[in-house]
Amino acid sequence: MIQINNISKSFSGRSIVNNISFTFASGKVNMIIGESGSGKTTLLRCMVGLNEIDNGSVLFNQRDFFKLDLKGKKQIRKDIGMLFQGGALFDSKTVEENVMFPISMFTDLSESEKRDRANFCLQRVNLVNANKLYPSEISGGMKKRVAIARAIAVQPKYLFCDEPNSGLDPKTSIVIDNLIKEITEEYNITTIVITHDMNSVIEIGDQIMFIHNGANWWQGTKEEILVTDNKEVNDFVYATKFMKDLKSKF
Amino acid sequence: MKLFFNFGQYFILIKRTFSKPEKRSIYVNRIFEEITILGIGSLGIVAIISVFIGAVITIQTAFNLQNPLVPLYGVGVAVRDSMILEFSPAIISLILAGKIGSSIASEIGTMRVTEQIDALEIMGINSAGYLISPKIIATVLFSPVLVTFSMFLGILGGYVFGLLTGVVTNYEFIYGITYQFIPYNVMYALIKAAFFAFIFASVPAYHGYYTKGGALEVGRSSTKGVVYSSVLILAFDFILTQLLLT
């Protein structure tokens, strides 16, 4: 479980994240949604410590991340897997080496054991026969799957996904969404997904937080988001013609 | 004010770079990888430049020693001292600042803008230590080797081209390069080479590490890294010469 309390963050006096509190449950896909520029990614970067926060606290199973020393922070980060928007795979390493990298850094497994673990993770994300390829030689969807395999390689307790579907076709998006959902339930991970893709929200979202102007504007479930009377949420959810038509039918 | 900020940030980064590694064996392997990429990969350019500079110094010195009162073995002395005292440690370091420095800044800068450095941090890895320390250690260890190689090839180039063009005889050149040879000069050159290597690895690494933006900024970081490290090499060339030779 991850709990954030009154998180605020500003850059050059401009408030980006404003007093946000939320509890992200384990074994569930927690979604942070909102328009572009609403502060989603900044909030995520604050939660994982890539940005310092101005106020508030981030508790990973009751341990306050920002009050820990460097060693304590490193310890928590070893339990974090992160799927970056662009994949953030290491260009100079092959697919297999990318997945093996965190295993090599944090375990004392033998070379063959590391390779076995990496292959298990790659099979888990349905990626076979790509072990020896470099990131520049694989598609966007494959990169996301390698990034997921790398994120789960050392069995994380927390999984952060920054717009996992960006740049993917609808079919591949569903594959990635389902993979995130399956892994979350299978390993009882606290998963936090940042997206503005409503299909993903309806597909896999368990808990949803809607951010507007850097604030926690609305929170609820995927069933509740479709019927809420909150204007900003409605404007976001029913922004497309397809969703508007769908709403008019019910 | 920005100068002080950059100095402070640079020294904080260097401190982080040399903090305790997560896994020593992986860092040691990385040092050998970097020696291969940055050091051995530079042998070709160092060899070509050194041979031709040695040849040019020989011909130019011979051309300027037309006075019959000045012995021709002065050509050998000039080639030896020019190569050992200045060309091999300083000019080769400036060339390496261009080649290795731009490579380091653009590699680390690209990793920054494509979130690869963030990925390392999220994994609980000291990204500065993992990425920068093997590059600095590799260049500091290997640069004296490159400089020694350059001294040897420069003098050899001078000798070969001197004989081929007929500007100096075999005896005069050999006598010249051994005449009043001071072994400490080689030590002085190697100290300078190691010091300059630290500059041309760490300064571009700093600029790459703090790149913000995209491809354009990576290019700017690379340019800044090369320019600042070149200026620092020249400044420290003067300081070290003053300290070590007087």
Same domain, A211 and A161: yes
The string of pLDDT tens digits covering residues A94-128 is 999 999 999 998 888 899 999 999 999 998 888 88
Same domain, A185 and A149: no
Residue A229 placed within a domain: no
Is B116's CB within 8 Å of A89's CB? Answer: yes
Residue B5 placed within a domain: no
Residue A230 placed within a domain: no
* More confident site: A249 or B149: B149
Strands of the sheet containing A190-195, edge to edge, are: A80-83, A158-162, A190-195, A29-34, A207-212, A215-220
Is B116's CB within 8 Å of A48's CB? Answer: no
Residue B18 placed within a domain: no
Q: Is A27 on the interface with B (CB under 8 A)?
A: no
Is A78's CB within 8 Å of B124's CB? Answer: yes
Same domain, A67 and A115: no
Picking from A115, A134, A155, the residue at the C-terminal end of a domain is A155
Residue B190 placed within a domain: yes
Residue A195's beta-bridge partner residues? Answer: A33
Return the pLDDT at A250.
66
In three-state form (DSSP H/G/I as H, E/B as E, the rest C), the secondary structure along chain A is CEEEEEEEEEECCEEEEEEEEEEECCCCEEEEEECCCCCHHHHHHHHCCCCCCCEEEEEECCEEHHHCCHHHHHHHHCCEEEECCCCCCCCCCCHHHHHHHHHHHHCCCCHHHHHHHHHHHHHHCCCCCCCCCCHHHCCHHHHHHHHHHHHHCCCCCEEEEECCCCCCCHHHHHHHHHHHHHHHHHHCCEEEEEECCHHHHHHHCCEEEEEECCEEEEEECHHHHHHCCCHHHHHHHCCCHHHHHHHHHC
Q: Is A219 on the interface with B (CB under 8 A)?
A: no
Residue A249 placed within a domain: no
The mean per-residue pLDDT over the stretch B204-224 comes to 95
Tally the domains of chain B: 1
Residue A231 placed within a domain: no
Comparing CA positions, the residue from A64, A55, A62 lying closest to residue A7 is A55
Task: Write out chain A residues lying below 8 Å of B22, CB-based.
Answer: 105-106
The nearest alpha carbon in chain A to B24 belongs to A105
Is A82's CB within 8 Å of B122's CB? Answer: yes
The mean per-residue pLDDT over the stretch B215-229 comes to 96
Residue A248 placed within a domain: no
Same domain, A173 and A213: yes
Global confidence as pTM: 0.88
CATH number at residue A196: 3.40.50.300
Domain that holds residue A124: 89-155
Return the pLDDT at B245.
86
Is B124's CB within 8 Å of A75's CB? Answer: yes
Q: Is pLDDT above 80 for A237? A: yes
d(CA A31, CA A29): 6
Range scoring the smallest mean pLDDT among A233-247, B115-129, B153-167, B194-208:
A233-247
Same domain, A104 and A165: no
Single-letter amino acid, residue B72: L
What is the least distance, in Å, from the CA of B216 to any CA of chain A? 18
Residue B14 placed within a domain: no
Element (H, E) at B34: helix B24-34
Same domain, A147 and A174: no
* Helices A140-152 and A111-124: angle between axes, nearest 10 degrees: 130
Confidence of residue B64 (pLDDT cuts 50, 70, 90): confident
Same domain, A169 and A54: yes
Same domain, A162 and A215: yes
Tally the domains of chain A: 2
Same domain, A19 and A118: no
Residue B4 placed within a domain: no
Return the pLDDT at A124.
87
The string of pLDDT tens digits covering residues A207-219 is 999 999 999 999 9
The nearest alpha carbon in chain A to B126 belongs to A74
Domain that holds residue B161: 23-245
Task: Write out chain B residues lying below 8 Å of A49, CB-based.
Answer: 121
Same domain, A4 and A63: yes
Q: Is A91 on the interface with B (CB under 8 A)?
A: yes
Sign of the alpha-carbon torsion through A133, A134, A137, A142: positive
d(CA B18, CA B206): 14
Q: Is A88 on the interface with B (CB under 8 A)?
A: yes
Same domain, A117 and A69: no
Same domain, A43 and A66: yes
Is A105's CB within 8 Å of B22's CB? Answer: yes
Sign of the alpha-carbon torsion through A200, A205, A209, A210: positive
Residue B1 placed within a domain: no
Picking from A155, A182, A210, the residue at the C-terminal end of a domain is A155
Q: Is A82 on the interface with B (CB under 8 A)?
A: yes
DSSP B23: -
Q: Is pLDDT above 90 for B221? A: yes
The nearest alpha carbon in chain A to B122 belongs to A77
